[in-house]
Structure 1
Amino acid sequence: MEETQSLSVLSPEMQESFRKELVTMIADTLSELNQKSGNSREWLSKKEACQYLSCSNGTLDKYINEYELKVVVIEGIRRFKKSDLDEFYLKYQI
């Protein structure tokens, strides 16, 4: 509770700036950990993205369509950047 109250002294702009910086730092750290663990593939297929996020194909479609999860589509083939998946989950973290 005290942490929430301490943030209220910051302006909304400062809070958003702080949040963005924190998300970037966490995503960078997760990316570094993935590379160190030998799991360095940056781009994933849809099936791999589902496995990475531990979600179903339908849930991933919902994230794309309703929550604007970033996806690259080339000639019908979808690819997901790991750092985008990490940032997406962090964005909706409670």
Structure 2
Amino acid sequence: MLIKENRTKRIEQREKKVRLTITLFILLASCFFPLVSRAQCAMCRAALESNENTVQAEAVNDGIVFLMVIPYILVALVGFAVYKLKYSKK
């Protein structure tokens, strides 16, 4: 029985090492080979590169901020609701 337990412990340790190695490899690969992405479509870039229309550039910036803030507000509201449900029972 002791031999079987030792064998399973060695197998579990080996599996942990393999998982750790794979995780580290994926992490390093993602750091050294970043994905290249474009943040703007061609139409937006062309419209914003002209120096004449600053109102349009401000509108695009406001839209980006608006789109960025909404998910944070929703997550905060869900977190607050969970907090209230958890601590209101005490």
Q: TM-score, normalised by structure 2?
A: 0.33
Higher RCO (CA < 8 A, seq sep 6+): 1
Q: TM-score, normalised by structure 1?
A: 0.31
Structure having the larger proportion of residues in helix: 2
